[in-house]
Structure 1
């Protein structure tokens, strides 16, 4: 089985294969005319009670500048197997799918017919080579409570700013499911003083986005996290371009919609997504619900594609003051009308104990300016207060146990969501858990000079830590236990994680209790 010791012993694809008890990929690659084709590892995602999505992408030269991974311009058949044991003595399904050059030789296998709430192992074979083995799980059957959900989540992995140690530490916790909350890549060009050198300049076209994803996927720590558990993913701004909003880019670009189409295509090619999430040009329907028995519903949200333009500040993202009345306009939306109505319907029909809103940007009100002056970020839900109030009302009116999972801000936060932050007497209706980044913003600090004052001026916010890392949780019908996991350093590899804060949340009580 995948153990802590075997994970620590693993490194690149060779280490992952050894950790999972399969022949090393490199040994097989010596006999293959294409070279090593499984250098990007394997992944699974989008668990359902009867199946999951299996993913791999063939790449003989991951850093080929055209983004195509050094693969020939022809289809390549890829065999796949699913077994109940890691040594594949009990194979339950097998088949062949064709990896095509127009999809960058990526493979998405949508499985059905598996047992609910079960553990499986999978692998691929192509060009005479065997891939590393991955572990995955199906979701419990609808209405069942037999299996808790061990969920870990994080966000914001900037390759140039550090080592992906957080992925390794997350894998060592052996989660059932990993949620990634946006900024899986960064589109930027080269930094002046990078920790690691990235391939290619700023991403503008399909080749550029493919190359950036390929370099990330070649990272051994990221491969380890993908191989240990299924993922669910949402995109944020840097998966396309910094601070984009709807059809409007941050800066004048080459035409933005073709750029967004290229980014979406590369995102789909490199993620274990279902066909329902396959982009059509510059459109990708991201929002959907992943159900984990009667324990939790994960509502995957998109706060980028349908949002109104930023309030005030010349329509650009930034800090706005209380005199910006546009942010309070009743018709403003960060989700778009269709997605907002869909979410309200999901909350109304939900029968799970917990409803998790898996999304990207700060949901709670947050005054980021110390002292008497007030300053809000118009990029988060503070720029769309009516939209937030409608979601908060849907949680409250339907008596849901709402927990908002958030990334984006490169630091850990936890707090309570009010039904209406403009009403001083408004009650708490949900909890927000904000994960820090994998690497973005560098090493960080446990506490910044103005942290205590920020918390004092925002009393609904209960916790902060400014290091890199992830959040792990154990979710049951009785409670949700949460540990904020932090790393002291990411500018050097293999730092150990520590728990910087622990909380418990109980059904019917939308508040945080120190654990």
Structure 2
């Protein structure tokens, strides 16, 4: 949220932070005796960069992972390593506010998660790590505004679906230049697909990941993308996972292909995938997995301006329906009983002006059948209609609900209607389905329009439909949300030209979204 530091000033400080961090590499903030006792480590322990996440008014999570040989298990000695950390209110670290020592343990892939508290709200902070005489890159992050703050602007970037094999992560370069306060990533951070000889950038390994080491290698490969690495170092992320972090279209402990993945084998795969996810994400200790279970649904407050509810639409869901009748089965659940009640409570008890829901999969209806009848994606909320429809009815008594979604590899921006079976039903909210960072690559736009434009009359709630790669950017104020669809001309090259495809507006107190 904008505060004492202007956006232009913040962008200047971001650009200079890496230079200042390098210039400060000679500064040692532990006693010389402690430094002398360190056992030498391999060079390049900070190859995966730094990150921050889940901002609070007084706190932030700082992350790194020691990995001098990132694509081969990490390359660290099999011992616990002490890592110094420091956070300051300026890029020169002359106004340090907190410092300490964290333990990078081999059982967690030598990842480091520091839950820093005691910070001032609504401020930029700079941070870094040091171990074995090596200094990390400098990261910049920002705390959430104070709990009583009700004004100002919150800039949120929405991202999802970054497939290494489909293209470079070029949208992040533009995202960094737009200087968001927080990045909301709603799933498919990695893809578990096998390496392809014809891919633009080939996945590491020889097949899909199943073991912990294999998932670690896949995450590490993605973390080496320079634009993704720079964006993580430039702003805090709020993350959740979808399916490809584990297995395409899995539901709970049921894989996509149960005839090929026995239950015990898939539980072992879940256990490995969730641990690797935790190891590579800037999340709190509450997300440390317990075997094949991980707690990811949570909410974050940005003063009284916005409450962000982050969902887990994979771990607790019923298996997908396979027919229209199945999709309307009232016993099916997307969220599970506990998460469902948690979300309802958060929406109705919220003091916030805007109630945001980060949902991995699309909530608005997608009718794929041109003309009479319906045809749905059963993996999305369309496959769990009784639960979806209950939430849409509840939205009528929720202040300014807006759903932020990924998964589709398309920009699909919609009004949320109380009953999609009745075209005359009330509009109760808005949904922004963000396009992908790189998944589907540079899509054939003419072919896309030929396939999807005929479906528009059957989906009158759609306000915008597009297939370019990019992300969405939101400036949230008390009176409304100004949204921009930011796209790039290609992900097949390391550099791209960004532009604004469309501008949209959500007015406070008026459900729905309109093109500007």
Q: TM-score w.r.t. structure 1 length?
A: 0.92
Counterpart CA distance in 2 for 1:17 and 1:187 is: 32
Q: Is the contact between residue 14 and residue 140 of structure 2 (CA under 8 Å) also seen in structure 1?
A: no
Q: Is the contact between residue 17 and residue 24 of structure 1 (CA under 8 Å) also seen in structure 2?
A: no
* 3-state DSSP of counterpart to 1:3: helix
Counterpart CA distance in 2 for 1:359 and 1:413 is: 14
Shift in alpha-carbon separation, 1:181–1:330, aligned structure 2, 3 A:
same
How is 1:19-58 mapped onto 2 (pairs within 5 angstroms)? 21-23=21-23, 33-58=41-66
Counterpart CA distance in 2 for 1:492 and 1:373 is: 42
1:329 and 2:329 aligned: yes
Map of 1:380 onto structure 2: 380
* 3-state DSSP of counterpart to 2:191: coil
Tell me how many residue pairs correspond in the alignment: 490
Map of 2:370 onto structure 1: 370
Counterpart CA distance in 2 for 1:219 and 1:262 is: 23
Map of 1:316 onto structure 2: none
Counterpart CA distance in 1 for 2:198 and 2:121 is: 48
Q: Is the contact between residue 455 and residue 462 of structure 1 (CA under 8 Å) also seen in structure 2?
A: no
The structural deviation recorded for 1:23 is: 3.6
* 3-state DSSP of counterpart to 1:493: coil
1:291 and 2:301 aligned: yes
Counterpart CA distance in 1 for 2:178 and 2:377 is: 34
Counterpart CA distance in 2 for 1:39 and 1:202 is: 23
Shift in alpha-carbon separation, 1:111–1:33, aligned structure 2, 3 A:
closer
Counterpart CA distance in 1 for 2:198 and 2:430 is: 38
What root-mean-square deviation, in Å, do the aligned CA atoms of Structure 1 and Structure 2 show?
2.0
Shift in alpha-carbon separation, 1:33–1:209, aligned structure 2, 3 A:
closer
Shift in alpha-carbon separation, 1:33–1:380, aligned structure 2, 3 A:
closer
How is 1:451-466 mapped onto 2 (pairs within 5 angstroms)? 451-466=452-467
* 3-state DSSP of counterpart to 2:221: helix
Map of 2:123 onto structure 1: 118
Note the alpha carbon deviations across 1:379-417, whole angstroms, 9 max, x for none.
0001111111121122212x3211110100101110111
Q: Is the contact between residue 442 and residue 490 of structure 2 (CA under 8 Å) also seen in structure 1?
A: yes
Map of 2:155 onto structure 1: 150
Shift in alpha-carbon separation, 1:410–1:499, aligned structure 2, 3 A:
same
* 3-state DSSP of counterpart to 1:48: coil
* 3-state DSSP of counterpart to 2:113: strand
Q: Which moved more, 1:420-429 or 1:464-473?
A: 420-429
Map of 2:433 onto structure 1: 434
Picking from 213, 232, 238, the partner of 1:226 is 232
Map of 2:208 onto structure 1: 202
Shift in alpha-carbon separation, 1:430–1:437, aligned structure 2, 3 A:
same
Map of 1:274 onto structure 2: 284
Counterpart CA distance in 2 for 1:475 and 1:457 is: 31
Shift in alpha-carbon separation, 1:5–1:372, aligned structure 2, 3 A:
farther
Counterpart CA distance in 1 for 2:81 and 2:224 is: 20
The structural deviation recorded for 1:21 is: 4.7
* 3-state DSSP of counterpart to 2:22: coil
Q: Is the contact between residue 210 and residue 269 of structure 2 (CA under 8 Å) also seen in structure 1?
A: yes
Map of 1:315 onto structure 2: none
1:310 and 2:309 aligned: no
Q: TM-score w.r.t. structure 2 length?
A: 0.92
Note the alpha carbon deviations across 1:192-244, whole angstroms, 9 max, x for none.
41001221121111011100011111221111110110000010000000000
Q: Is the contact between residue 14 and residue 234 of structure 2 (CA under 8 Å) also seen in structure 1?
A: no
1:180 and 2:185 aligned: yes
Note the alpha carbon deviations across 1:51-107, whole angstroms, 9 max, x for none.
00000001111111xx2x111111111000010100101111100011111110100
The structural deviation recorded for 1:340 is: 0.5
Q: Is the contact between residue 463 and residue 515 of structure 2 (CA under 8 Å) also seen in structure 1?
A: no
The structural deviation recorded for 1:423 is: 2.9
Counterpart CA distance in 2 for 1:203 and 1:217 is: 16
Note the alpha carbon deviations across 1:123-147, whole angstroms, 9 max, x for none.
0001101111111111111131243
* 3-state DSSP of counterpart to 1:395: helix
Q: Is the contact between residue 159 and residue 186 of structure 1 (CA under 8 Å) also seen in structure 2?
A: yes
1:256 and 2:245 aligned: no
Note the alpha carbon deviations across 1:133-191, whole angstroms, 9 max, x for none.
11111111113124321000110111111101111211111110001010000011112
Counterpart CA distance in 1 for 2:23 and 2:499 is: 33
1:481 and 2:486 aligned: no
Map of 1:448 onto structure 2: 449
Shift in alpha-carbon separation, 1:414–1:25, aligned structure 2, 3 A:
farther
1:164 and 2:169 aligned: yes
Counterpart CA distance in 1 for 2:61 and 2:108 is: 16
Q: Is the contact between residue 84 and residue 119 of structure 1 (CA under 8 Å) also seen in structure 2?
A: yes
